[in-house]
């Protein structure tokens, strides 16, 4: 399209100068004379009009018409030509404005469509990430449930061991009590036996004083019985020493059992703390899964609305493209009419 400054008067002046110089006023020659400005589609109809006017002027001059009449006709022709050019330019400017506006609307629609497509892709990506997070949370929840079940089984095992240890400690305490009772009974029996032996010995002494002769006869037998009694007493002392050793061993076993019981209690407390932590983690995971489910529901609720908006933008873009096509057709018709007017 030519610049707004190209007029029929300029083309006429340039063509007249070329004709005066004896040159053929072609479109290229006129364009060069105008400084290389103006398109051929604009210059060609103007140059054609100039040539037609020149031929008419030559015919009028040959017919012998007055010069003033020729000037009036020429001025009227130029005025009509300028009016036609102004109308064509106004129509071209209006068409270009409409086309520019349509292009802007199409670009805006394309930008909105691209933005919606980006948002849709982002939402789909977020949905995929939320699904992955949900799967990870479900896996973590399953692992925590397994760990909690394992910890509960271990705690139950430790409680059972503690119960068994307590039973063993109770048995050892009963055995210790029985041993003490037996030792006390033995000491009482030994004391009673010693008292009885003293009384018998006193009685024997009395009888020995009275029966010296008989005692002398029985002295060897009494000494032998006394040796046997001493042997029995030594055996009783050794038995008492063994009972003391067993009592010491039972006390050490009791102390070891109490220490193991304390250690088991500490382990049970630690397992209880671990179970509490696992329950807290399980609760946090459940809350996180609930929040993720709520976000997923919101995204699913918004997805149809976004799809509807995307479809609306696509329909609007199609309508704008159709309107642009119609405007292009109108522009083509206006250009055709412009060419017809220029040719007329």
Contacts of 105 (CB under 8 A, 6+ apart): 320
Average pLDDT of every residue of the chain: 80
Task: Tell me how crowded residue 1 is: count the other CB atoms within 10 A of its CB.
Answer: 12
* Burial of 313 from C-beta contacts in 10 A (0-12 / 13-18 / 19+): buried
d(CA 148, CA 278): 6
d(CA 179, CA 245): 12
**285 pLDDT above the threshold of 50:** yes
User: How far from chain centre, in Å, is Cα 252?
Assistant: 60
Q: What is the pLDDT of residues 291-306, one digit of tens each?
A: 877 877 777 787 788 7
What is the per-residue pLDDT for 26? 92
Contact between 216 and 138 under an 8 Å Cβ cutoff? The reply is no
Q: What is the pLDDT of residues 135-190, one digit of tens each?
A: 888 888 888 888 878 878 887 887 888 788 788 888 878 887 887 788 777 778 77
Report, as an integer, the average pLDDT of 55-77: 66
Q: What is the pLDDT of residues 4-39, one digit of tens each?
A: 557 888 888 999 999 888 889 899 999 999 888 888
Q: What is the pLDDT of residues 214-239, one digit of tens each?
A: 767 776 777 787 788 778 878 877 87
Report, as an integer, the average pLDDT of 247-260: 81
d(CA 290, CA 281): 14
What is the per-residue pLDDT for 2? 38
Between 166 and 2, name the one with better pLDDT.
Answer: 166
Angle between helices 40-63 and 67-210 (to 10 degrees): 170
**281: nearest Cα among 139, 135, 141:** 141
Q: What is the 3-state secondary structure (H, E, C) of 216-281?
A: HHHHHHHHHHHHHHHHHHHHHHHHHHHHHHHHHHHHHHHHHHHHHHHHHHHHHHHHHHHHHHHHHH
Query: Would you list the domain boundaries of the chain?
Result: 119-326
What is the per-residue pLDDT for 267? 82
């Amino acid at each position: 399209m030519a610049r707004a400054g190209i007029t029929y008067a300029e083309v006429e002046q340039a063509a007249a100068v070329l004709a005066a110089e004896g040159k053929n006023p072609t479109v290229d020659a006129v364009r060069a004379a105008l400084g290389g400005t103006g398109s051929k589609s604009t210059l060609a109809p103007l140059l054609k009009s100039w040539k037609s006017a020149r031929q008419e002027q030559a015919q009028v001059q040959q017919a012998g018409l007055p010069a003033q009449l020729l000037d009036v006709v020429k001025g009227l022709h130029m005025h009509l030509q300028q009016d036609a050019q102004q109308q064509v330019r106004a129509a071209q400017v209006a068409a270009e404005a409409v086309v520019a506006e349509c292009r802007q609307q199409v670009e805006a629609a394309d930008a909105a469509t691209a933005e919606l497509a980006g948002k849709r892709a982002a939402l789909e990506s977020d949905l995929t990430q939320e699904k992955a997070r949900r799967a990870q949370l479900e896996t973590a929840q399953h692992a925590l449930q397994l760990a909690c079940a394992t910890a509960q089984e271990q705690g139950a095992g430790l409680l059972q061991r503690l119960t068994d240890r307590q039973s063993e400690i109770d048995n050892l305490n009963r055995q210790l009590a029985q041993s003490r009772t037996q030792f006390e009974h033995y000491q009482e029996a030994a004391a009673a036996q010693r008292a009885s032996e003293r009384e018998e010995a006193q009685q024997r002494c009395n009888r020995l004083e009275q029966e010296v002769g008989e005692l002398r006869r029985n002295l060897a037998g009494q000494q032998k019985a006394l040796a046997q009694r001493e042997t029995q007493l030594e055996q009783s002392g050794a038995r008492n020493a063994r009972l003391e050793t067993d009592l010491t061993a039972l006390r050490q076993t009791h102390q070891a059992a109490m220490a193991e019981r304390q250690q088991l209690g500490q382990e049970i407390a630690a397992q209880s703390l671990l179970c509490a932590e696992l329950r807290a983690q399980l609760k946090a995971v459940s809350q996180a899964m609930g929040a993720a489910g709520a976000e997923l529901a919101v995204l699913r609720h918004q997805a149809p609305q976004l799809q509807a908006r995307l479809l609306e933008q696509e329909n609007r873009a199609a309508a704008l493209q159709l309107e642009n096509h119609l405007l292009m057709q109108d522009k083509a018709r206006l250009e055709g009419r412009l060419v017809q007017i220029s040719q007329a």
